[in-house]
Structures are given as C-alpha cells and as structure tokens.
C-alpha cells in the first residue's frame, strides 16, 4: 500500500467490507478481543498497516500522562477503530471515541459493534474530529 496518498474514505470502505465478511462468517456473540484480532489480521492481509491496543497519552500543559487510554486498532496511523460487542451502542461510546481522536490528533474514527444482527448504520458509525 502506498503511503504517498492515503484516502480515508477508501480505507473506511475497506474496513467496513472486512467487517461485513467477518460478521457473515462468525456472526455475533464473540468477545471483543476475538473480533479485534481477526479484524487486525484481515486488514493486514489487505495490505494495511495495523496496530492494536495503541496507547494514547494525555498531555496537560507540559505534562505527559500515560494513564492507560488505549485504542483498539489504529489503521495506517490515520483511522482509530473502537470495537464493541455489546447489546446496544450508547452515546458514551461515541464520546469516548471522539476523545481518543482529539487526544491522538486524528481525523476519523470508526465505532463498530459486532454484537448486532448486521453491520449497518447503527453498528458501524463514522466519527469525525
């Protein structure tokens, strides 16, 4: 994958495609960690640079605090993916992802809930910083 021109929409589309495939093969009801490992593998196979459990520090004035914030997946160092395997997404999930985007100075985040009947607009949410 070329690093010269990264198109967030193309990457987001391919992430969604990978999520559809994973969900169709495995269904719902697995642990978040299982979906994380498989999605990371699938995206890597598609040629993307993927890191898991990436620490995000909080910087306050001149103090850097490594206090345990971690994003589930960071794709191409530009898209944060927050995975869930819950009955319903709640506003706090979106707010948490937006906080991660701000702290990491990233533009796009994807909130994905694998514990749903299908990967649709309620279970695959784009958050823009």
Condensed to tens digits (0 to 9), the pLDDT of residues 44-99 reads: 999 999 999 999 999 888 888 887 789 999 999 999 999 999 999 999 999 999 99
Residue 3 within a domain? no
The DSSP symbol for 5 reads: -
92: enclosing H helix or E strand = helix 91-104
The pLDDT of residue 1 is above 50: no
Please list, residue by residue across 84-98, b when 16 or more beta carbons sit within 10 angstroms of its beta carbon and e when fewer do: bbeeebeeebeebbb
Range of the domain at 51: 8-128
At 5, the pLDDT band (50, 70, 90 cuts) reads: low
Instruction: Assign 71 to helix, strand or coil.
Output: strand
Q: For the chain, what is the mean pLDDT?
A: 93
Q: What is the pTM of this model?
A: 0.91
Cβ-proximal residues to 15 (8 Å cutoff; 6+ apart), any chain: 39, 43, 75, 79, 81, 110
Tell me the two tokens of residue 57. Answer: 């520090």
Query: Stretch 17-45: mean pLDDT, rounded?
Result: 97
In this structure, what CATH number is given to the domain that contains residue 64? 3.40.1350
Domain count, the chain: 1
Cα Dmax for the chain = 47
15 assigned to some structural domain = yes
């Amino acid at each position: 994958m070329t690093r010269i021109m990264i198109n967030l929409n193309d990457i987001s589309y391919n992430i969604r495609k990978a999520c559809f495939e994973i969900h169709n093969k495995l269904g719902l009801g697995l642990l978040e960690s299982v979906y994380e490992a498989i999605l990371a593998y699938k995206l890597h196979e598609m040629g993307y640079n993927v890191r898991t459990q990436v620490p995000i520090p909080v910087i306050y004035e001149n103090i850097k605090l490594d206090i345990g914030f971690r994003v589930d997946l960071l794709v191409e160092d530009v898209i944060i993916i927050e995975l869930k395997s819950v009955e319903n997404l709640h506003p706090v999930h979106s707010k948490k992802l937006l906080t991660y985007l701000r702290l990491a100075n990233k533009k796009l985040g994807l909130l994905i809930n694998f514990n749903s009947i299908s990967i649709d607009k309620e279970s695959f949410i784009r958050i823009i910083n």
